[in-house]
Amino acid sequence: MKILFDDKFYESDYADDGASVPGRLEAIMAAIGAETAFEVVRPQPASEDAVRLAHTPAYVDTVKSNAPLYNMATLAAGAAIGAANVALTGEPAFACLRPPGHHAYRESAWGYCVFCNMGIALLQLKQEGKIESAFVLDFDAHTGDGTRDVLSDWKECHILNPYADNSEAYLKEIQDFVKGIPAVDIVGVCAGFDSYQKDVGRKLTTFDFYCMGVLMKQFAKKAAHQRRFAILEGGYYLPDLGKNVLAFCHGFQ
Ligand SMILES: [Zn+2]
């Protein structure tokens, strides 16, 4: 399994919000960076053309006027693209990035997000003719409204934001949904760990994150040529963030 990560993601002064807090990515990399089965790969920033697949020129220009933010956001989108390309080879990948992206609409963003990392990665592969269909699971505590907006015209892209309010029902909702969709070319996971029982979502356990990793691995093996990648969204309870990401990755690999 590959981990898409660059030390630049440790920089926390590109913004002042919950996703940019110091120590957040350190907590994750301390847990997953030490795994010998995981190879850390440095991403390239996304091109402006790639970003424009998901966003309007006016919005891209607005972000561009803030150079530190633009540089961080294009590197995040590039990490998502990198992870998606690893997935195409049949090897799983996790992009440990910030700023997150699932609240980034075509022409605006909120909730600590800047560019729609998942949308950009999938639209880039689609434009290159590498995929025609996709499934996106977003298990963040908050609905991935931006991802839904960016990918809304793509009928062969199926998106699930589970809403069930306890572990058992939540996992069943995912299982039931994937039973009802056709085979796809790739599985993308918007991995938001704020659905954790001690985080704002107050719902899922560490073991649930492992189970969701397993479910997506199984679905990818059955219906997506094993192709699967995940990208970081939310997750703000730092004492357990590393172990939760690690649990997901162990299930997903
Ligand atoms: Zn969230």
Tell me the pLDDT tens digit for each residue of 33-67.
989 999 999 999 999 999 999 999 999 999 999 99
**C-alpha of residue 118 to centroid of ligand 1, in Å:** 15
**C-alpha of residue 179 to centroid of ligand 1, in Å:** 26
pLDDT band at 136 (very low <50, low <70, confident <90, very high): very high
**C-alpha of residue 67 to centroid of ligand 1, in Å:** 25
**C-alpha of residue 196 to centroid of ligand 1, in Å:** 10
Would the pTM of this model clear 0.75, i.e. be above it?
A: yes
C-alpha closest to that of 93 among 229, 210, 190? 229
Tokens at 224, concatenated: 């997506």
**C-alpha of residue 52 to centroid of ligand 1, in Å:** 24
Nearest-angstrom CA–CA distance, 213 and 248:
5
| Dihedral sign for Cα atoms in the order 54, 59, 63, 64 | positive
What is the Cα 49 distance to its own chain's centre? Answer: 20
Nearest-angstrom CA–CA distance, 33 and 3:
8
Nearest-angstrom CA–CA distance, 158 and 94:
20
Mean pLDDT (the chain, rounded): 98
Q: Do the bridges between strand 39-41 and strand 134-138 make them parallel or antiparallel, or are there none, so unpaired?
A: unpaired
pLDDT band at 107 (very low <50, low <70, confident <90, very high): very high
**C-alpha of residue 201 to centroid of ligand 1, in Å:** 8
**C-alpha of residue 235 to centroid of ligand 1, in Å:** 7
Q: Are 184 and 156 in contact (CB under 8 A)?
A: yes
C-alpha closest to that of 50 among 114, 149, 109, 125? 125
**C-alpha of residue 169 to centroid of ligand 1, in Å:** 19
| Percent over 70 (pLDDT), the chain | 100
**C-alpha of residue 165 to centroid of ligand 1, in Å:** 15
